[in-house]
């Protein structure tokens, strides 16, 4: 391990440091791992691969920086976070180019909304923390006030899809609440998070406030969540990984929040606008289906199945698989050869077990997989019950509202739900009845950053968003003073 000038890789014309960002400086490791571009399979960079030593250095840097950062108060921290947000806005093109090369999300989406959402995250949480009003009340002869105390160093572990935005979604409330952070991005797409460290330094965040440690989950991630100086753990990823992280957090009695997978229902009732519903359903193939909130289980009232399918196939036929840097492309490649094998394996097993492949169901070259629709033989089929995280949807029918809700709630997941209906009464009834962290009616992916966000069941623990996130990164204390005893 060294702290000399870190190597730099040039990715999409942008210089990206490949070392960790710890205590305000670049730190290299004796070992590296390779990140490849899903676009063409070409190696992009050799990335420093952290072990316990580098993780310990980062956590101790966060621990040492914590008292001064916490003491700044919400307004002092907000000034730093607003500067960071401004720098993100000024670097959208660079960040989008790097992230497109590294994980193959559509470049136009990154430019138009995804990267800018990172800036919005920092501004939103900075302002929410400043606006927080401590709760005051009188009870049993005492005056009471609830106060937020910054919890301490936080471990933030983020997934490979939309890595920059999701890293800011978690680090923003942690930093605004007064925590310091060690961020561990996913090993399949670490490059834009390396640039986040650069921007934090440029924004003047004190050394050690935001640290970025790169590495393999079983090594760096495991060491990070088990470190005794970590006081909060926030994770987005798979349910299986969350089990391991939760055990480590429990050993140190550390609060843990997890946003996990989904097998989300997309319900279409006979009274719905079928053109809008079918277009939105076909849109679930965007980003090659690598979106945890996507509605992957199409549940359609049987009386409108045929007209819905006619519209759905027409909308899906309009998709263009191609280079995500091309504005004509609508479906990008999958992230990694291992993930392609996983997605293809689900479809191959479904076909072998008698499930009907209505369309797609094949690799199309490189890391591309054709948009696929499967009609299962029964609701217990693996393809219905387990998350695929690729361009694979299933379609089932229901006869009435009760059956629709029963099917919607029939998996172990509960992250999101999408409902298409023209009835306000049905929108309210079904919206209340589905078990999910969010339910959209006649729309999708509209987010209010102050609203609670998370899943139920195997889709997660805890809530992010607004004051829910700021409370998570705080220890709440009640100050209680006997009335008349002080002046």
Strands 14-17, 181-184: pairing kind: unpaired
Q: Please state the rounded mean pLDDT for residues 270-288.
A: 97
Assess whether pLDDT exceeds 70 at residue 134: yes
**Which is the catalytic residue, given 54, 259, 301, 464?**
259
Q: In angstroms, how far is CA 431 from the centroid of its own chain?
A: 23
Annotate 269-303 with DSSP letters as a single string: -TTS-HHHHHHHHHGGGGGGG--TT-EEEEEEEGG
Residue 45 pairs with which residues in a beta bridge? Answer: 35
Share of the chain above pLDDT 90, in %: 98
The whole-angstrom separation of Cα 106 and Cα 333 is 10
Beta-carbon neighbour count of residue 190 at 10 Å?
27
Query: Can you list the alpha helix ranges (DSSP code H) found in 132-203?
Result: 163-177, 191-202
Residue 4: the pLDDT is 53
Backbone angles phi, psi at 220, to 5 degrees: -70, -45
Please say whether the dihedral angle defined by the alpha carbons of residues 193, 194, 197 and 199, taken in this order, is positive or negative. Answer: negative
Assess whether pLDDT exceeds 90 at residue 2: no
CB 473 within 8 A of CB 255: no
Which pTM was predicted? 0.95
Residue in this structure with the two tokens 């204390």, named with its chain if needed: 477
Q: In angstroms, how far is CA 446 from the centroid of its own chain?
A: 15
Mean pLDDT of the chain: 96
Q: Which two tokens stand for residue 266?
A: 């997309």
Q: Please state the rounded mean pLDDT for residues 161-178.
A: 97
Q: How far is CA 31 from CA 34, 154, 211, 214, in A?
A: 10, 25, 19, 11
Among 156, 244, 120, 65, smallest CA distance to 473 is for 156
Assess whether pLDDT exceeds 80 at residue 415: yes
The whole-angstrom separation of Cα 477 and Cα 145 is 8
The whole-angstrom separation of Cα 30 and Cα 131 is 45
Among 134, 136, 146, 148, smallest CA distance to 178 is for 148
Q: Please state the rounded mean pLDDT for residues 139-144.
A: 94
**Confidence grade of residue 6 (pLDDT, cut at 50, 70, 90):** confident
Residue 487: the pLDDT is 85
Residue 39: the pLDDT is 97
- Under DSSP, the state recorded for 320 is -
Q: Please state the rounded mean pLDDT for residues 2-18.
A: 86
The whole-angstrom separation of Cα 266 and Cα 300 is 8
Residue 259: the pLDDT is 95
Q: In what order do the strands lie in the sheet with 142-150?
A: 136-139, 142-150, 474-482
**Which is the catalytic residue, given 100, 179, 193, 292?**
292
Residue 259: active-site member: yes
Q: Over the Cα atoms of the chain, what is R_g?
A: 23
CB 185 within 8 A of CB 167: yes
CB 435 within 8 A of CB 338: no
**Confidence grade of residue 40 (pLDDT, cut at 50, 70, 90):** very high
446-487 per-position pLDDT tens digit:
989 999 999 999 999 999 999 999 999 999 999 999 999 998
Assess whether pLDDT exceeds 90 at residue 349: yes
Q: Please state the rounded mean pLDDT for residues 117-146.
A: 95
Structural domains present in the chain: 8-260+455-478 (3.40.605.10), 264-441 (3.40.309.10)
């Amino acid at each position: 391990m060294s702290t000399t000038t870190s190597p730099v890789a040039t990715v999409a014309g942008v210089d990206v440091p490949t070392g960790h960002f710890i205590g305000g400086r670049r730190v290299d490791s004796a070992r590296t791992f390779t990140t490849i571009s899903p676009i063409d399979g070409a190696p992009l960079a050799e990335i420093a691969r952290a072990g316990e030593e580098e993780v310990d250095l980062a956590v101790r840097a966060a621990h040492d920086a914590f008292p001064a950062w916490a003491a700044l108060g919400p307004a002092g921290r907000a000034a730093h976070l607003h500067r960071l947000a401004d720098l993100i806005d000024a670097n959208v093109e660079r960040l989008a180019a790097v992230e497109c090369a590294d994980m193959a999300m559509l470049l136009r989406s990154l430019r138009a909304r995804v990267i800018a959402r990172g800036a919005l995250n920092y501004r939103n949480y900075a302002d929410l923390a400043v606006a927080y009003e401590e709760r005051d009340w009188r009870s049993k002869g005492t005056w009471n006030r609830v106060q937020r105390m910054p919890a301490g160093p936080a471990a933030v572990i983020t997934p490979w899809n939309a890595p920059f935005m999701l890293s800011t979604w978690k680090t923003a409330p942690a930093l605004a609440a007064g925590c310091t952070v060690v961020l561990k991005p996913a090993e399949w797409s670490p490059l834009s998070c390396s640039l986040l460290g650069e921007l934090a330094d440029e924004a003047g965040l004190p050394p050690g406030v935001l640290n970025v440690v790169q590495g393999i989950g079983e090594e760096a991630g495991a060491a990070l969540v088990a470190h005794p100086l970590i006081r909060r753990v926030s994770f987005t990823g798979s349910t299986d990984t969350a089990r391991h992280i939760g055990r480590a957090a429990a050993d140190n009695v550390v609060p843990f929040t997890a946003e996990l997978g989904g097998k989300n229902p997309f319900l279409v009732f006979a009274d719905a606008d079928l053109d809008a519903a079918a277009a939105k359903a076909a849109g679930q193939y965007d980003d090659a289906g690598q979106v945890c909130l996507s509605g992957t289980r199409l549940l359609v009232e049987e009386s409108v199945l045929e007209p819905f399918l006619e519209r759905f196939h027409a909308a899906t036929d309009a998709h263009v698989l191609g280079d995500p840097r091309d504005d004509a492309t609508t479906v990008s490649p999958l992230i990694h050869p291992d993930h392609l094998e996983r997605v293809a394996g689900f479809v191959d097993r479904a076909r072998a077990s008698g499930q009907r492949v209505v369309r797609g169901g094949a690799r199309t070259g490189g890391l591309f997989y054709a948009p696929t629709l499967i009609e299962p033989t029964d609701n217990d089929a693996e393809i219905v019950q387990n998350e695929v995280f690729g361009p694979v949807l299933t379609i089932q029918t229901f006869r009435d509202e009760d059956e629709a809700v029963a099917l919607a709630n029939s998996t172990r997941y509960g992250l999101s739900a999408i409902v298409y209906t023209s009835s306000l009464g049905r929108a309210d009834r079904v919206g209340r009845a589905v078990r999910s962290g969010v339910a959209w009616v006649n729309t999708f992916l509209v987010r209010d950053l102050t609203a609670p966000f998370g899943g139920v069941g195997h889709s997660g623990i805890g809530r992010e968003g607004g004051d829910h996130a700021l409370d998570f990164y705080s220890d709440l204390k009640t100050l209680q003073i006997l009335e008349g005893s002080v002046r």
